[in-house]
Chains A and B, each alone.
Chain A
Amino acid sequence: MTDSASPKERLLRVLQRRPVDRPPVACLGGMMNAAVVDVMERTGNPLPEAYDDPARLARLARDVARLTGFEDLALPFCMTLEAELLGSRVDPGTIAVEARIAEEAFPSVREVALPKLERIPEASRAARVIQAIALAAAAKPDEPIVGSLTGPVSTAASIVDPITFLKELRKERANSHRVLDAVVGAVGRLAEEMVSAGADVIAVSDPTATGEILGPRAFEEFALRYLNELTDRIHRLGAPVVVHICGDIRPVEHLVARLHARAVSTDAVVSLSHLKASHPGLVTMGNVSTQTLQLGEPERIAGRARQLVEDGVDIIAPACGLGTSTPLTHIRALTDAVREG
C-alpha cells in the first residue's frame, strides 16, 4: 500500500520512480535550509551556536522538521563546511545571517594545493555535522535524513576568489580541472561520512554552476562532468542524490537532463511542468518562490503548492534558499497544502 508510507519511504520511492500516494514536501538543507529565525527563537537553539554541539545540531534539524512540516531532517544549515575544510575562512554569521565565506583560501587555481582529505578533522564543524547525522539516525525517525553538500563548482569558487575562478575557467583550463577533481575528492569524502553516519539521501546544491553564469559549453565541461562524478561516487555508496540547479536552466536544459542525479531541483523561474513534458524521465523537485514564501499571503503560497502538485511535480519544495525572516506560518501554508491536499 502506498498510502501508509512513512515520509522516508515516500521520498525514497519517489527517487526510485515508484508510485506514491502524494508528493513529499521537503527542504534539502545546506543553502536551502529551513532554520528560520522563527524556529530558532521558539526553540531557544540558535545558529551559529548550535554548530558547537552535535546534539544541538540534531535537535535543530528535528525542530525544523516538526515546526515547519517539511518531511525530512536536513543537515547542515549553510554551505560553508566544504570550503572551510579546504582552508577558506568562514564568518559564522548570526541568528539572522547564515554562515558565509569571509576569505577564500587561494587567489588563483594555479596556487591551489589540496592534500587528499583522509579524515575529517575532529575539531571541524563538518565533524560535528556528521555526528549530528548519526544522532538523528540513531533515533530512527520516520523522516529521511538528508545530508546536504555544496557542489564542485561552487566549492571551487569558495576556495578561490569567485571572479578569478570564473575567469580562470577560460584562462587556466587545466588547473581548473585539477582543482575541480580535487574538490570532488574532498566533497565525496564528506558524502561518504554522511552516508555512513546514516544519511538516507544526499543533496548537492551548486549555485555557481548555473546555465546563466557558465553558459552551455562551460556548464558541460565543468559543472555536468564533476556533478556526475560526485553523484556516481555517492550512488555507489547506496544513497540517492538530488541536485539543485539555480537560476534559469534554459541555456543548459539539454545538459540538465544528462545529470545522473535521481532528482533535479530547480529555481522558481523554471517551469517544472514544461521540464517534465520535455524530459518525461526526469524526477523534478521544487519550486515555490522563496520571495513568495517570505512576503506572500499564506493563501497564495498554498495555492502555488497545490498547483505544483497538480502539475505532477514529484517533490514539492522551496525554489531556493529561504530568507531567515520567513514566517513559520508561511512555511506551514506550503507544507500543509501538500500534506493535507
Chain B
Amino acid sequence: MTNTSLQQAVLTELADAVVALDEARAVDAAHEALNESVDPYTAIESGLLVGMSRAGQLFEEQEYFVPELLVASDALYAGLGVLRPHIAADRLDVPGKVVIGVVEGDTHDVGKNLVRIILQTKGFEVHDLGRDVPPSRFVDKAVEVGADVIALSTLMTTTMVNMDETVKLLAKRDLRDRFQVIVGGSPLSKAYADRIGADGYSKDAIGAADLVKRLVQQAPRVAT
C-alpha cells in the first residue's frame, strides 16, 4: 500500500471502530495513526468524528439506541485520549461554549448526556453541571466561562418549573440577553419553551446539537 492509502485505511479503521462500539479497536487505530504519521487533527476530524456522526445517523434511524450511542462515545473518547495530546492547543477550534445540566429536583441525565456527547463531537466546549442543578449554578457557571448557550434538561413534569426559574433568574440579574437558553426533555414542547421565554427547544438530542449550532451562528458571541 502507498503511504496515502495506508493513511486512508487508518482513518477508515478509526471511524469503523467507533461505529463498531469497540474501545480497544479505537485505541489501537489511534496509535496506528500516530505510527503512520497521520496528522492527529485529521485523525480526529476525518476518522473518529466521522465514525461518531455515522453512529449518530444510525441512532436517528433507530438502528442504534441510547446504549449503543453511549458505547460509541466511549470508543470516541478512548481514541481522543490517545490523539489529543499530540495536537497544539491553538488548532482546536471551538465553535462555542455551552453550559448544560439537568434542572433541580431531577436526576435523570440520560438525555442531557446524549446532548453533551453530540455537542462535544461537533467541537463545542461543554461544561456539564450534572444533575439536580439549582438555577443559580447555571447562571454562575455561564458567567464564569463566558458561555454562549445554557442548555436545560428535565425528564419530569414535576421539575419543568425550574427551567422557568432559571430564565427568570437570568432576567433578574440583567443577564438574559447575554446567553441563549435552550430546553429539552420528554415532557416539554415548543409551546412550553416559548411560554417561559427560552430561545430554543428540541425534541431530541440530535436536534439539540443543530439548534445550538444555529443559535451560536445567529448571534456571534461578544468577546468577554
Interface string of A239-275 (1 = CB under 8 A from B): 0000000110001000000000000000100000000
Residue A291 is within 8 A (CB to CB) of chain B in the complex: yes
**Contact residues of B: prevailing secondary structure:** loop
Minimal Cβ-Cβ distance residue in A for B59: A215
Specify which of A213, A290, A320, A324 is in contact with B110 (CB 8 Å cutoff): A213
Bound complex: CA of A213 vs CA of B113, how far in Å?
12
- Chain B: minimal CB distance from A219 (Å): 9
CB pair A320–B157 under 8 Å, yes or no, is yes
Q: Does B219 interact with chain A (Cβ within 8 Å)?
A: no
Instruction: Report if A100-B71 is in contact (Cβ < 8 Å); known contacts: A246-B186, A325-B161.
Output: no
Contact partners of A213 in chain B: CB under 8 A = 65-67, 110
Contact across chains for B113 and A100 when beta carbons are under 8 A apart: no
In the complex where A100-B132, A251-B62 touch, is A321 in contact with B186 (Cβ < 8 A)?
A: no
- Asked whether A294 is an interface residue with its Cβ less than 8 Å from the other chain, the reply is yes
Q: Is the CB of B64 within 8 A of A98?
A: no
The count of residues in chain A whose C-beta lies closer than 8 Å to any C-beta of chain B is: 37
Contact of A323 among B109, B157, B186 (CB under 8 A): B157
B67 lies within 8 A of A214 (CB): yes
B105 at the A/B interface (Cβ < 8 Å)? yes
- Flag whether B82 is at the interface (Cβ < 8 A): no
Closest to A93 in B: B105
Chain B residues 85-108 with CB under 8 Å of chain A are 104-108
B67, A170: Cβ atoms closer than 8 Å: yes
Q: How many residues of B contact A (CB 8 A)?
A: 32
Contact assessment for B187 and A291 in the assembled complex, using a CB-CB cutoff below 8 Å: yes
List, in ascending order, chain A residues with CB within 8 A of B108's CB.
162, 207
Our pick among A98, A207, A214 for the contact of B105 (Cβ within 8 Å) is A98
Known A-B contacts A97-B104, A162-B110, A213-B110; A323 and B67 likewise in contact (beta carbons under 8 Å)? no
Q: Which one, A167, A247, A323, contacts B158 given CB within 8 A?
A: A323
A66 close to chain B: CB less than 8 A: no
Q: Give bound CA distance, A166 to B71, whole Å.
A: 9
* A208 → B minimal CB distance (Å): 8
Asked if A212 is at the interface of the complex by the 8 Å CB criterion, the answer is yes
A322 within 8 Å of B (CB atoms): yes
Kindly state whether residue B156 has any CB partner on chain A within 8 Å.
Answer: yes
Q: Knowing A100-B106, A321-B157 touch, does A167 contact B67 (C-beta < 8 A)?
A: yes
Closest Cβ neighbor of A250 among chain B residues: B62
By a CB distance below 8 angstroms, the chain B residues around A13 are: none
Answer whether residue A50 sits at the interface, using C-beta atoms and an 8 A cutoff: no
B50 at the interface (CB under 8 A from A): no
Residues of A within 8 A of B65 (CB): 212-215, 218, 251
Max chain B CB contacts within 10 Å: which of A97, A101, A208, A247?
A97
Q: Which residue of B lies closest to A324 (CB)?
A: B158
Q: Does A322 contact B68, Cβ atoms closer than 8 Å? A: no
**Residue contact A162 to B67, C-beta cutoff 8 Å:** no
Q: A279 at the A/B interface (Cβ < 8 Å)?
A: no
Look across to chain B and name the residue whose beta carbon is closest to the beta carbon of A251: B62
The 0/1 profile, CB within 8 Å of B marked 1, for residues 213-227 of chain A is 111001000000000
* Minimum C-beta distance from B8 to chain A (A): 29
> Separation in Å of the B146 CB from the closest CB of chain A?
28
Chain B proximity of A67: nearest CB distance (Å): 18
Q: Which residues of B contact A291 (CB under 8 A)?
A: 157, 160, 187-189, 192
Complex: A326 Cα to B158 Cα, angstroms: 9
With A100-B107, A213-B65 as contacts: A171 and B71 at CB distance below 8 Å: yes
Chain B's closest residue to A80 (CB) is B107
Q: What residues of chain A lie closer than 8 Å to B192, measured between beta carbons?
A: 291, 295
Given known contacts A98-B105, A100-B106, A170-B21, A218 and B67 CB-to-CB distance under 8 angstroms = yes
Cα–Cα, bound, A215→B69 (Å): 11
Per the bound structure, the CA–CA distance linking A93 and B65 in Å amounts to 32
CA distance A162 to B109 in the complex (A): 8
- Residues of chain A lying within 8 A (CB to CB) of residue B104: 97
Contact A167 B74 (CB under 8 A): yes
**Distance of A97 Cα from B159 Cα, bound (Å):** 7
B157 contacts A294, CB within 8 Å?
yes
Nearest CB in chain A to that of B156: its residue: A321
**Contact partners of B169 in chain A: CB under 8 A:** none
Q: Which residues of B contact A100 (CB under 8 A)?
A: 105-107, 132
B161 touches A166 (CB 8 A): no
Q: Report yes or no: B189 in contact with A98, Cβ–Cβ below 8 A.
A: no
Q: Give the shortest distance, in Å, between A91 (CB) and chain B (any CB).
A: 8
Known A97-B105, A100-B106; contact A163-B186, beta-carbon cutoff 8 A: no
CA distance A169 to B187 in the complex (A): 26
Q: Which residues of A contact B158 (CB under 8 A)?
A: 97-98, 321-324
Asked if B70 lies at the interface with its beta carbon under 8 angstroms from chain A, I say yes
Cα distance A163–B113 when bound, in Å?
8
Per the bound structure, the CA–CA distance linking A324 and B105 in Å amounts to 11
Q: Could you list 11 further interchain pairs (A-B, Cβ under 8 angstroms) beyond the known A170-B21, A218-B67?
A: A91-B132, A96-B105, A162-B109, A167-B71, A212-B65, A215-B62, A290-B187, A295-B195, A320-B157, A321-B157, A321-B158
Interface residues of B (CB under 8 A from A): 21, 62, 64-68, 70-71, 74, 104-110, 113, 132, 155-161, 186-189, 192, 195
Q: Which 3 A-B pairs have the closest CB atoms?
A: A215-B65, A97-B105, A290-B157
